[in-house]
Amino acid sequence: MSTTSKPKRTRTLKVDYLARVEGEGALYIKIKGDTVTDAELRIFEPPRFFEAFMRGRMFTEIPDITARICGICPIAYQMGASYAMEDACGVSVVGPIRDLRHLIYCGEWIESHALHVFMLHAPDFLGYQDVIALAKDHPDIAQMGLRLKKIGNDVMTMLGGREIHPINPRVGGFYRAPSRKELNTLVEDLTWARQASIDTLKFTATLPFPDFEQDYEFVALRHEDEYAILEGRLVSNRGLDVPIHEFLDHAYEEHVPHSTSLHAAMKGRGAYMVGPLARYNLNFDKLVPIAQKAALEVGLGRECRNPFKSIMVRSVELIHACDVALDLIENYEQPPRPYIDVKPRAGTGVGCTEAPRGICWHRYTIDDTGIVQDARIVPPTSQNQKVMESDMRHFVEQNLDLPHDDLQWQCEQGIRNYDPCISCSCHFLKLHVERE
């Protein structure tokens, strides 16, 4: 790489349609001399207006509708909506039904993380356009990734009926609870998957990482007894520690011209990060011992501020999800009824769960017959938009000497660090880098 002095000029980097992300977005970066004057993540995914058309629907229909926000993480949307409705109606789901929720959510984490680690993110580090090219040179790695992903899907299919838009979850629990015997059929594969996840972490630890650490505010759910997925308080490394109901007292969303996704920020502090890195830094102590041990053994440490290393953190979470899934199956007792009754009453309820990409927050107001009066959803990708833009700004300023094509590719990779789900956030991705 050349470090000779550069002429003072303005240039642009642009990616018109970001690949290997879920949804439609572009990246636009304008550089003047050594300074990035503009870094915009342009989201042009057409808006679909979920919050508007959920008004007037019956509260029991909402989990089926919110699932359609995202084909990659439908469970996150079904669970957030279900918890919010149960909160509004004054009931809570505990015991084996909650365990089944935890289990199907582990399935979604395994599927989504395996998809991202192997098919969307790993090709960047090794210089391949996609997993198919990667598979030609590294067939064992590609096969391992595909099998891991399939096992996540198998967990979702067993509990949900199908992996995309599962039909079994409902407000109050499930339509049908599986028998112990049915769940036991998953044990052999999940046991393989737990070991494969450890191997995945060892593989990702060998990847070349740019030296890029940032000082982030991390926000995640925190739960007393577990690495929070379903429930918890909202906490951050800068003093946030509130019940989920108070989220909007501390965070706000704004609408910017270049995005059909709203941008979220913390009042008085600005950008914050949600997702695997946030969870890992805030809740390392709650990971299962086997995941903690594997992370420390590959030298990841208890804290990680390099977003490129999110691929390692996702691998740690893969280990965690497989181990928790096995534990849930081992201790499962089929409930007498697969759901609890939820009677509508007028009120407002809030639900917040850890989608694979970070906290996904829901709030609904219903009337006494159960008809939705108001709906509000804050998806993970809209919360990460500001951080993604500031990462781009700092990354480009540190790497101005890179040849244009390399810089552009690394910027795309820098966006994929967040596994952005543009369909979800609307509300996402092309890269357009302008240098004058």
Closest CB 95 distance from another protein, rounded Å: 20
Does 255 help bind another protein (rule: CB under 8 A)?
yes
Does 158 help bind another protein (rule: CB under 8 A)?
no
Number of residues that bind another protein (CB under 8 A): 63
CB 152 within 8 A of CB 110: yes
Closest CB 243 distance from another protein, rounded Å: 25
Q: Nearer Cβ to another protein, position 106 or 287?
A: 106
Rg (CA), the chain: 21
CA distances from 139 to 133, 311, 327, 397 (A): 10, 19, 31, 37
The amino acid occupying position 276 is: P
Residues in 27-46 that interact with another protein by CB under 8 A: 45-46
Does 69 help bind another protein (rule: CB under 8 A)?
yes
DSSP string across 253-298: EE--TTBSSPEEEETTTB--B-SHHHHHHHHGGGS-HHHHHHHHHT
Provide the sign of the torsion angle of the four alpha carbons 37, 41, 44, 50, taken in this order. Answer: negative
Does 72 help bind another protein (rule: CB under 8 A)?
yes
Q: Of residues 11, 98, 165, 394, which one binds another protein by CB under 8 A? A: 165
CB 375 within 8 A of CB 55: yes
Does 248 help bind another protein (rule: CB under 8 A)?
no
Does 162 help bind another protein (rule: CB under 8 A)?
yes
Site track 307-346 with another protein (rule: CB under 8 A), x = hit: ----------------------------------------
In total, the chain counts a number of residues equal to 436
Beta strands 429-435 and 25-32 are parallel
Region of 20-28, 285-293, 378-386, 396-404 interacting with another protein (CB under 8 A): 20-28
Closest CB 390 distance from another protein, rounded Å: 21
Closest CB 68 distance from another protein, rounded Å: 5
CA distances from 436 to 7, 201, 360, 370 (A): 11, 41, 39, 57
Does 64 help bind another protein (rule: CB under 8 A)?
yes
Token pair, residue 407, equals: 């810089």
Does 406 help bind another protein (rule: CB under 8 A)?
no
Contacts 24+ apart (CB under 8 A), 370-373: 370/58, 370/59, 370/60, 370/344, 371/56, 371/57, 371/58, 371/59, 372/54, 372/55, 372/56, 372/57, 372/58, 372/59, 372/62, 373/55
Does 21 help bind another protein (rule: CB under 8 A)?
yes
Does 49 help bind another protein (rule: CB under 8 A)?
yes
Q: Of residues 205, 423, 425, 432, which one binds another protein by CB under 8 A? A: 423
Q: Of residues 32, 98, 150, 223, which one binds another protein by CB under 8 A? A: 150
Residues in 107-146 that interact with another protein by CB under 8 A: 115, 119, 123, 129-133, 135, 142, 146
Q: For residue 308, what is the DSSP state? A: G
Region of 1-9, 32-40, 47-55, 390-398 interacting with another protein (CB under 8 A): 47-55
Q: How far apart are CA 65 and CA 407, in angstroms?
A: 40
In angstroms, the first-to-last Cα distance of the chain is 21
Contact residues: another protein, CB under 8 A = 17-24, 45-53, 55, 57-58, 61, 64-65, 68-72, 74, 115, 119, 123, 129-133, 135, 142, 146-147, 149-150, 153, 161-165, 167-168, 170, 175-176, 254-257, 260, 262, 409, 412, 423
